[in-house]
Amino acid sequence: MKSKKGSQAVAWVLVTMIFLALVGAGFVVWKTGILTQESAVGEGTISQSIIQASEASKSGNIATIGVYVRNLANNDINTKIAVATYCVDDLGTMIIDSTASSTSAEITGKTSVGRTVTCYAFNTTVQTKTPTAIPITQEYTHIVVDAYLMSETGKILLYDDSLKTSTGNGTVNVTGVGASQTGTLQKLRVQNNNTDRMYPLGGIYFPTVSGTNISSIIADGSATLSGMSQTTTQIVESTLSTKVGTRTDNWENVFEVDSDSSKAGNQFLLMEENDYLETGIVSVSGDGDGCSGYADTITAKTFIKGYSRSTKAETILADVAETDADSSAVLLTDWALDSATGNGAPVVYCRN
């Protein structure tokens, strides 16, 4: 017969071993943070679920957007400007339509939670730099639109083969333009010589002169840039038409800037203060009579591209050279070639 004391001793040893094993396991769990991690994951999942449920419950509720427009061309980019503002949601509904922004308070519009709203600001002297697109997840959303004041005038110069420019006293000639022959100018420069203003250069055109002997002027090819993040761009022959009365008889030798050849279409070039573009050779061809004396004059103009409000539908059009496809209004007055000092007469002549 076994002793009771022996049995009790064995029992105590077993209890002690089990206790020590439990303590050890607990220490391992505490040290590795298993319970803490599981708890944290659980809490995070619960919190995220609560947020998602809360947002889902708000979806479709009436929401208000408050909009400011700032001028990125200003040294203080947070300077607010007053300009016609447009906001459209992802269903195509125009929430704010041509309401002028304020320099002192937000303008507002109504939408719904769950929509995505894109805002623009533009008129004849202001353009949107980057449209602002924001998902509406709460019942009041603040939106800031990035825009800029445009340069209304600039500097355009034509250079002959000796790099004499078409400005100041005297004249610049493109020579050798006899019957069915071609002469050349060295280059054309377009410069934004304005402070705190930008210029969305869409392209260049060479207005024709009534009764001219010039059959074509060509400036397509690569161009060199100064002051911009990229160093070169492309000048391509344009197929754009125009409804603008002042351009109608001059819209034959038209070229667009293509600032990003990897994208479809031709993208405008945004020029900041003192930036300039220089084309390569400008070729001038004569017809069967060729240029004679000072009868044929050459000039150059630039036009912009930008955003505009369609008048056919509630939509915003991008990269347009007029205010929209069904309007004859110009976004901004075309820049013109610098003229001679004093009399303002044309300064570039075609001669045989």
Same domain as 135, residue 37: no
Asked whether the beta carbons of 202 and 256 are under 8 A apart, the reply is yes
pLDDT at site 170: 58
Domain boundary among 98, 125, 149: 149
pLDDT tens for 307-341 read: 999 888 889 998 888 776 677 677 788 998 876 54
Cα 285 from Cα 301, distance rounded (Å): 19
In this predicted model, what pLDDT tens digit does every residue of 184-222 receive, in sequence order? Answer: 999 999 999 999 999 999 999 998 777 788 899 999 898
Choose between 315 and 9: higher pLDDT: 315
**Domain-terminating residue out of 149, 176, 208:** 149
Which one-letter amino acid corresponds to residue 66? G
Pairing outcome for strands 348-350 and 172-174: parallel
Question: Which residue from 60, 116, 120, 64 is spatially nearest to 90, judged by alpha carbons?
Answer: 116
Shared-domain flag, residues 195 and 207: yes
Question: Based on the number of CB atoms within 10 Å of its own CB, is 317 exposed (0-12), middle (13-18) or buried (19 or more)?
Answer: middle
- Report how far residue 214's alpha carbon sits from residue 274's, in angstroms, rounded to the nearest whole number: 33
Q: What is the 8-class DSSP label of residue 352? A: -
Domain limits for position 32: 4-58
pLDDT tens figures, 247-284: 888 888 999 999 888 888 899 999 999 999 999 999 99
Mark which of 18, 33, 58 sits at the end of a domain.
58
| Statement to judge: residues 207 and 321 lie in one domain | yes
115 and 219 assigned to the same domain: no
Q: Cα 81 to chain center, whole Å?
A: 18
Say how far apart CA 222 and CA 202 lie, in whole Å: 15
Structure confidence at residue 7 (pLDDT): 56
- pLDDT score of 211: 76
The region of weakest confidence among 147-151, 189-193, 302-306, 345-349 is 345-349
Say which CATH number the domain at 304 has. 2.60.40
Quick one: what percent of the chain has pLDDT higher than 70?
A: 77
Could you tell me if 221 and 139 lie in one domain?
no
pTM above threshold 0.85: no
Q: How many CB atoms lie within 10 A of CB 270?
A: 18
Residue-wise pLDDT tens digits, 56-91? 556 779 999 999 999 999 999 999 999 999 999 999
Instruction: Indicate if 131 and 191 belong to the same structural domain.
Output: no
What the block records as the tokens of 270 is 């945004």
> Of all residues in the chain, what percent carry a pLDDT higher than 90?
50
In order of 152, 196, 215, 232, 280, the CA distances from 277 in angstroms are: 17, 18, 25, 9, 10
* Domains identified in the chain, total number: 3
Once rounded to an integer, what is the mean pLDDT over residues 136-161? 94
Asked if residues 289 and 179 have their Cβ atoms less than 8 Å apart, the reply is yes
Same domain assignment for residues 166 and 45: no
* Residues 342, 211 within the same domain: yes
Residues 174 and 268 in one domain: yes
For the stretch 25-51, pLDDT in tens is 555 544 555 444 444 445 555 555 544
| Same domain as 111, residue 212 | no
36 and 77 share one domain: no
Where does the pLDDT of residue 229 fall: very low under 50, low under 70, confident under 90, or very high at 90 and above? confident
> Average pLDDT, stretch 6-13?
54
Query: pLDDT category, 169, cuts 50, 70, 90?
Result: low
- Any idea what the CATH number is for the domain that residue 139 is in? 2.60.40.10
- pLDDT for the residue numbered 16: 61
Mean pLDDT computed over every residue of the chain? 83
Write down the pLDDT at residue 47: 54
Residues 164 and 309 in one domain: yes
